[in-house]
Amino acid sequence: MENFNHRSGEHLMLDSAKIYFEVHGDDAGSALLFLHGGLGTMGDFNGVLPLLKQRFRLIAIDSRGHGKSTLGTAALSYERLALDAAAVLKHLGVERCSVVGFSDGGITALRMAAKADSCVDKLVVIGADKMLKPDDPVRKLLGSVTAESWTKKFPETVTLYQDLNPQPDFAGLIEAIVPMWLDDSGSGYPGESVKRIRCPLLAVRGDEDHLVSRASVFELVEQVPGAKLLNIPFAGHEAHKDQAEAVMASVNRFLRE
């Protein structure tokens, strides 16, 4: 199966931003949308694509400001990322799809699935919270991220960003994304709206995830009717990378049921 390659896609102009997306796989198959995490790209899912057991029409988006998508001038928010994803699906003529979202992508997907007119058939979220509580210690960690600290810890991701982005400004991206991570307003985390989700949900968490607690994921699945929880031992925040085969065994079963 062809990887997301940052060569074969297109841009869709949405307000002041150019949103990059790619489509691969079987055009006759059901649509499967991938939404990556903060400061990542669609390529972060390439390790799991060969493990998919069904043929899908694979769609991936570089989130606003990430990869080959420009940031634009509008404030970054989970609401806006969900609107971007919906616009790309509409542009492609996709009326229904399943979604795999990691971290920020999972939070965005939860917002999409909670809408009354949701187009989501099945939803897999990996390392995603429905809200960030005021006393959550992760809040301080996220709020402390700077361009310098991220570059020091994850230099390869910054190099990739500089290589891919049409308008690279990593410091500007950090200034936009940190407020999104801390956003308590209606444009931020889905919060209690997850109770409105009616599609099947599989919530995946690495047992060593330092950003998403067991309690928060358990609370999420308790609030979504019929939701399933997959806690993966020996995996961190990026469970789909740390334990790809273990994660995908359940994801494949979930998607085909």
Residue 60 tokens read as 């991936």
Position 2 scores a pLDDT of 83
Position 113 scores a pLDDT of 98
Sheet holding 30-35, edge to edge: 10-14, 17-25, 56-61, 30-35, 97-102, 120-126, 201-206, 228-232
In the chain, domain spans: 10-249
Position 1 scores a pLDDT of 67
pLDDT in tens, 30-85: 999 999 999 999 999 999 999 999 999 999 999 999 999 999 999 999 999 999 99
Partnered with residue 23 across adjacent β-strands are 59
Position 158 scores a pLDDT of 98
Is this model's pTM higher than 0.95 or not? Answer: yes
Position 257 scores a pLDDT of 86
Residue 88 tokens read as 């790309």
The secondary structure of 196-219 as a DSSP string is: G--S-EEEEEETT-SSS-HHHHHH
Domain 10-249 classification at class level: alpha beta
* Stretches in the chain below the pLDDT threshold 70: 1
Could you give the CA distance from residue 224 to residue 220 in angstroms, rounded to a whole number?
7
